Amino acid sequence: MAFNPFDAVLRSSSALRSLRNRIRFPGLGMASSVVHRIEGRVHYGTGCSIGQSSILIVPRTATLRLGDGVYVGRNVELGPSGTIDIGDSTSIQDRSLLVGEVRIGRYCTLSLNVLMTSGRHYYDLVPHWFIRDQDTYALTDPGLAQEHQRPVHVEDDCWLGVNTVIMPGVTVGKGCVVGANSVVTRDLPPYVVAVGSPAHIVKNRLEFKPPKSIDCMVDSDLPYFYSGIGVSRADRERSSDGNGLLGDSEFSIALDPGGARSICLIAKSNVEEPCTVKHLEENRELTQEYKAIQFPISSREASRFSFRVQIKNQRWPITIKKAWVE
């Protein structure tokens, strides 16, 4: 075969781009044909990959965050205006587009051609103007610009079918399945199956009904260790003693408060340094031995209780065994 200098140049350019990507993003599996214009912040965990011809555009004030084991397919575009946050072990298949303020949980599966955007176009602000002129007006007016971004949130363990569209401001609850070619225009509760345009609920994956108490050793209780808690099989195998679930620096639990005045956890610290759990304005310290900690419940809380672990730069700092209200 005759030597083709053009092919040699292409191979050389590809090798140079690969080297550039490895230097700038060590440990990130980025294809040489990925187009990126990054002026803001990019954070990524271990085992992440970004496929051929994908596009990353991160403006100066924006953040792109990828958890451990995130897979981004080919010809995917990620363009945060504020923050795009993609959780551990989530996969985004070819030709999907995420723009604006988007948060996707852990262990989600996005099929081909999924669209999520937190922004919109305007046709009725000043109806006799061109739509693009109305868009510009909305972005330059302080009041309208603040309302322009309506964040999209897809919680853990969701499966979005091919050609799914998630509209601005929508939250897709934990464990949802959205059928192919669906347009989700309003929030979906946890563990439902929704199809159509606009999407409507056709059945439940399970009856999501938070109980009064949950135990990590009971499989049917696992959905109520709601977020920031390692309930996947791989997560449970990583637990140090096999008797609890790993908890991240921010986590939430779903329980039925039903007149209760406090929420209790049995948990322990996974680190040697002092480890404090915060709920509302109350703090409780954990040791490396399991202990019960108790927090008051606010009348504003319904069935979702959020906690923060006061420790820096440490994944999975605690292990949680049980939770209940009383």
Q: What is the pLDDT of residues 74-97, one digit of tens each?
A: 999 999 999 999 999 999 999 999
Are the beta carbons of 192 and 158 closer than 8 angstroms?
Answer: no
Question: Among all chains, which residue has been given the structure tokens 């009725």?
Answer: 124
- Assess whether pLDDT exceeds 50 at residue 258: yes
Mean pLDDT over all residues of the chain?
91
Are the beta carbons of 105 and 156 closer than 8 angstroms?
Answer: yes
- Assess whether pLDDT exceeds 90 at residue 113: yes
- How many other C-beta atoms can be found within 10 angstroms of the C-beta atom of residue 252? 16
- Assess whether pLDDT exceeds 80 at residue 136: yes
The sign of the dihedral angle between the CA atoms of 209, 210, 215, 221 is positive
Least Cα distance to 66 among 96, 42, 99, 82 occurs for: 42
- DSSP reduced 3-state for 91: strand
- Give residue 125's region: left, alpha or beta (phi > 0; psi -120 to 50): alpha
The one-letter code for the residue type at 127 is: P
CATH number of 213-325: 2.60.120
Q: Judge if 27-204 and 213-325 fold alike in CATH terms.
A: no
First to last CA, the chain: 79
Are the beta carbons of 134 and 125 closer than 8 angstroms?
Answer: yes
pLDDT score for 144: 77
The Cα–Cα gap between 62 and 198 comes to: 31
- Tell how strand 318-325 and strand 262-269 pair up: antiparallel
27-204 classified as CATH 2.160.10.10: yes
The β-bridge partners of 29 are 49
Are the beta carbons of 80 and 101 closer than 8 angstroms?
Answer: yes
Output the pTM of the full model.
0.89
Give whichever of 67-71, 127-131, 300-304 has the largest mean pLDDT: 67-71
Instruction: Report the pLDDT averaged over residues 37-66.
Output: 96
The one-letter code for the residue type at 106 is: R
The Cα–Cα gap between 256 and 277 comes to: 21
Domain ranges of the chain: 27-204, 213-325
Least Cα distance to 235 among 98, 107, 115 occurs for: 107
